[in-house]
Structure 1
């Protein structure tokens, strides 16, 4: 049964910005439900409860004895009920994301989680009983054509067979999530939404607004913002450390009971990617730190006139000759859709639907979730995008990224509620590809050498944030989870681990001080989805290789093959998806090819320097 954890946010705060909320679109969630207190939502809750009870009465304890036809019917009924519950929780999550600080919304979200968990716990037996089937018995049931349609979902489900607990233990963990892990996540989200950063002696800023100052053209503004953010996070350091320690311990306990070999094992399994493939990615990126981030930030320090060292608050600063161009919403929309259209008119047509309908919430508002995400909701509806748009070039890239997710989700919806979701490692493919298409289109239109340098530098920084930074985040998580197995990790130790990975990954050109020690605290992925972060690096390197194949014309009918890859949703794994393009993620050269694209951009910038 799909979980009801919050949607992971894209960590854009240090690389995103807002140009005023005027004229920016806001989403209309009535395609899901008219309102939190609507009769339609109440009726769906009631119907879901009745369907869950009927499903349990019909099938609990009987899965092994079902014929193939009856098993197919059970799968269809389970998918229908799953989609109904997903629709309810998608709505609750989106309402909450738009108004995280509203106590009434918080109560609605919590109540929805509790009711949905109660209902879903009634049918938890279904997947547990499927995993107790012998392979030969399951194969006999899949002779039925209806049941056979669900083969990819069943194969993925059975990967977790050896980690499955008893029915009572599974139900206990499932029901306690709302008062355990999910409650800590809610505490984190509401704390972050309520943070106010004192800037310039004026009205305190939200964290999103304060982080935007790290891209301000004025050095004094960047410095003041960075220090104010660090001080504000430090004031709540004990709370953030408690949340981090509690969730890490919670994960350790469950991992131990489920016999996972290491803290990343469950994430790798859910991502349908082998440990050795992830290890190859992480090793390739770490081995490239010197050629990528260390080299680039040394170049940038020279551009910024800081004598070979770059203050940490200037890491994402605009270059001195950056014109700090701002894009209106219409300009951003047209830029992204034009780039999509140049690649595939069909892809652009799907993307336009997000703008023609109220499927995007773009303004940065107090109390709104920070960062950005695309929520797939359910196949019977459509995705929604959340942004905090501030008009910079990087915000255009974020729009291109999230629209890629949205288009991917639309195309995969045909696989149904159980098989539309793509593993996180592949879920970033369309988003990063959308970014690359948009960047290439914008770069091709730039004729002024200074503008091209600025754009290349911006792209390099985005790629470093996506590849190097996310791998460093993964290393931080690994060290924290390992340390937690020896007891609670004191807040100062968390800060020490953070600084170690930052210094290793960003290099000697970066100059840090104590105000940066608490920046680990605001990263939502550590809380929402442990070890999610390497999926960004996986996706970026994968897309670099994929885009390189496209640019070189190595594969005929590339666009059609690409669209088919997106339509596959969660029915195929990375090996089968990449095979039509002649790529293999298990080959160490695959990751080197992806990193070479980034290195090439830095080479070009070094020549300019």
Structure 2
């Protein structure tokens, strides 16, 4: 651990993917992929109703080989773009690889459409039963999408137009917002501190500052910048929704906009309705906490600017990257040594990009390229306590991927809601270890921070999804909806979410423009609520069962995306279709609030 302590933030090494993308290897890789696709296309004549299971399985494996080869090249380009979204050279490669990927997708489309639409039910059942078990649920899911699948020419047109249509719009959103310069004006007594902040993550970290004036200045700077650009950003979002509505509701015939995400996640609409219903009915749990937090901070009523105010009044000491890494590794090692070994593998192979730099993609993510290559993790590490939790979160994703690395690429990735299982569990392992080590006074502070995070990752994300449902419904009915109307819907959403537990200023009505998931992946956000509430139930089981729980947990993670989430969890005694299950998560939040209140 001594070497770990000395580690500093740094960049990743992408040479496992491509060594020289600009010159020979990039173009050679594209050529190799084209050759594989040509060979695959020659198999089209073998797609008969009576095709043998052996030949069908060979086609699956050949398509996976193509997908894996493409993932190496596309993964490299998108990771390089995340490093520097202002790079014109990499931006051009992103466009090139997106066009190339669309072309490849169109060439392979015949196999997907044959299985979904052409193959009769009897033979589809025969082939599904005949392949290895790891593919069974995947193939059943593919068949379930047949009713929303268009004919080959229509699917090809959509793929082609997406590259220069909605994908291009989202790319504009990213380049524009990642390049923002924020005019920061902090009123510290009679003195005004003015500066320009060019790194969005640096600015956003200040909303958790121990200094009240910094929190207010950070929010005002963030929200005013997005408001100033609301015309363009709002127009992009409206067209994002129109594109979603035109393709999925009008052309494909999905019953509701969110059903698209639910089917993609292999989750029933009923399960997500139950989840959101329980979240909505439990908003008062956090109202109680916000009122209690106001008392601790010695203010009459909490303002939205201070929602994440730390209970410590003094400046919090920054943690070095090495110290943070040591804390996470020790927490993971206590739970299961393999978890620590997986993360150490990422460190050794330089699969982590952690340093702050201008024009770098904000936030954090874990990217799985292939079962044969350990995942890559992007962090924006600035030494805050929250950065340590983020580290544990993203390393949890990496652990999930590595444990499922024995699965084929088509089923390695868990569906979106289950994708947050290991990440949130990783945070809880870390937080519980830290809680056990701190003094009584600090324990109250840490519990408050944990409840802040529960709000941010459960209730806030659920209400983001509720806003999206409203926005998609409004624009679906009236394409002339404007940005101001969307902002009013968002404000109403915040008022329901907070009730009278805090004071809400009008500038927060523009906050929705800042949420990239609305643009990148509509209805993505409920996965965080799902994942957190699910993990609370799993973590309670771990506390009750002790180390005997660990094999069950590893079975869930090792399944990757090879099982339908509801079935996978039901096999482990967890029924996520019932509101009572989701309520257990809020019961734990209540327990944490009660525990915090008892500490004087």
Report the TM-score when normalising by structure 2. Answer: 0.94
Residue 373 of structure 1 corresponds to: 365
1:441 aligns with 2:426: no
Aligned to 1:287: 281
Q: Which residues of structure 2 form unaligned runs of 5+? A: 1-5, 185-192
Match of 1:558 in 2: 549
Q: Secondary structure at the match of 1:453?
A: helix
Q: Does 1:35 align with 2:20?
A: yes
Q: Residue 471 of structure 1: which of 444, 462, 479 is its match?
A: 462
Give the Cα separation in 2 of the matches to 1:153 and 1:39. Answer: 36
Provide the C-alpha distance between the structure 1 equivalents of 2:125 and 2:84, rounded to a whole number of angstroms.
47
Matched, 1:549 2:535: no
1:588 CA displacement: 2.1
Given candidates 267, 274, 277, the residue that maps to 2:271 is: 277
2:415 alignment partner in structure 1: 423
Give the root-mean-square deviation of aligned CA atoms: 1.8
Once the two structures are superposed, the pairs formed by residues 414-563 of structure 1 within 5 Å of their partners are 414-446=406-438, 448-485=439-476, 486-553=478-545, 557-563=548-554
Check conservation: 1:63, 1:71, Cα contact below 8 A: no
User: 1:60 and 1:471, CA in 2 relative to 1: closer, same or farther beyond 3 A?
Assistant: farther
Instruction: Render the CA deviation track for 1:64-105: whole Å, top value 9, x for unaligned.
Output: 352222112111111111111122211111111111111221
The alignment status of 1:206 with 2:199, answered yes or no, reads yes
User: Matches of 2:134 and 2:561 in 1, distance apart?
Assistant: 13
Q: Is the 8 A contact 1:312 1:512 kept in 2?
A: yes
Using a 3 Å threshold, how does the CA distance of structure 1 residues 357 and 129 change in structure 2: closer, same or farther?
A: same
Map of 1:247 onto structure 2: 240
Greater shift, 465-474 or 124-133, is seen at: 124-133
Name 2:255's counterpart in structure 1: 261
| 8 Å Cα contact 1:425/1:536 also seen in 2 | yes
Give how far 1:338 is off. Answer: 1.0
* 2:80 matches 1:95: yes
Q: Which moved more, 1:224-233 or 1:182-191?
A: 224-233
CA–CA separation in structure 2 for the residues paired with 1:385 and 1:314: 30
Equivalent residue for 1:592? Answer: 583
SS at structure 2 position matched to 1:123: helix
Q: Is contact 2:207–2:309 with CA below 8 Å preserved after alignment?
A: yes
1:134 aligned to 2:120? yes
Return the offset for 1:63.
4.5
Q: How far apart are the structure 2 equivalents of 1:543 and 1:313?
A: 29
Q: Are the aligned partners of 2:262 and 2:269 in contact in 1 as well (CA < 8 Å)? A: yes
Quote the residue 1:15 is aligned against: none
Q: Aligned in 2, Cα 1:519/1:585: closer, same or farther, shift over 3 Å?
A: same
Unaligned runs of 5+ in 1: 1-20
CA contact (8 A) 2:490 2:509 kept: yes
Cα drift, residue 218 of structure 1: 1.4
* Residue 573 (structure 2) pairs with residue 582 (structure 1): yes
Q: Report the 3-state secondary structure (helix = DSSP H, G, I; strand = E; otherwise coil) of the residue aligned with 1:272.
A: coil
- Measure, in 2, the Cα distance between the counterparts of 1:231 and 1:144: 59
> How far apart, in 2, do the equivalents of 1:607 and 1:543 lie?
25
Matches within 5 A, 1:145-294: 145=131, 149-199=134-184, 200-255=193-248, 256-291=250-285, 293-294=286-287
Q: 1:144 to 1:272 in 2, by over 3 A?
A: closer
Q: State whether residues 8 and 320 of structure 2, in contact with CA within 8 Å, keep that contact through their aligned partners in structure 1.
A: no
SS state of the match for residue 26, structure 1? coil
Q: Verify the 8 A CA contact 1:303 1:320 in the aligned structure 2.
A: no
- 1:347-398: per-residue Cα shift (whole Å, max 9, x none)? 2211221122211111121100001110011112221011111111111111
- Return closer, same or farther for 1:150/1:321 CA change in 2, 3 Å cut-off: same
> Counterparts of 1:583 and 1:157 in 2: how far apart (Å)?
25
- Equivalence map 1:335-414=2 (5 Å): 335-414=327-406
**What is the total number of aligned residue pairs between the two structures?**
584
Structure 1 residue 606: Cα displacement: 2.6
> CA offsets, 1:126-180, max 9 Å, x none?
110001212211233346556x653232112112011011111011111211011
Check whether the contact 2:458–2:529 (CA below 8 A) recurs between aligned residues: yes
Q: Equivalent residue for 1:298? A: 291
Paired with 1:331 and 1:502, the residues of 2 have a C-alpha distance of 37
Take 1:560 and 1:145, find their aligned partners in 2: how far apart are those partners? 27
> Take 1:516 and 1:139, find their aligned partners in 2: how far apart are those partners?
52
- CA-to-aligned-CA distance 1:269-293 (integer Å, 9 cap, x gap): 11111111111111111101012x2
Displacement of 1:580: 5.0
Q: Which moved more, 1:393-402 or 1:320-329?
A: 320-329
d(CA) in 2 for partners of 1:506 and 1:363?
A: 35
Q: CA deviation at 1:25?
A: 2.5
Kindly provide the CA deviation profile for residues 478-511 of structure 1, in whole angstroms up to 9, marking residues without a partner as x: 1110110112321111211111111211232222
Cα pair distance change 1:385/1:454, threshold 3 Å: same
Match of 1:18 in 2: none
Match of 1:116 in 2: 101
Q: For the residues of structure 1 that align with 2:46 and 2:486, how far apart are their CA atoms?
A: 47
1:470 Cα deviation (Å)? 0.1
Q: For the residues of structure 1 that align with 2:578 and 2:506, how far apart are their CA atoms?
A: 41
- Secondary structure of the residue aligned to 1:29 is coil
Match among 593, 596, 599 for residue 605 of structure 1: 596
- DSSP 3-state at the match of 1:371: coil
| CA displacement 1:580-602 (0-9 Å, x = unmatched) | 54221122221111111111111
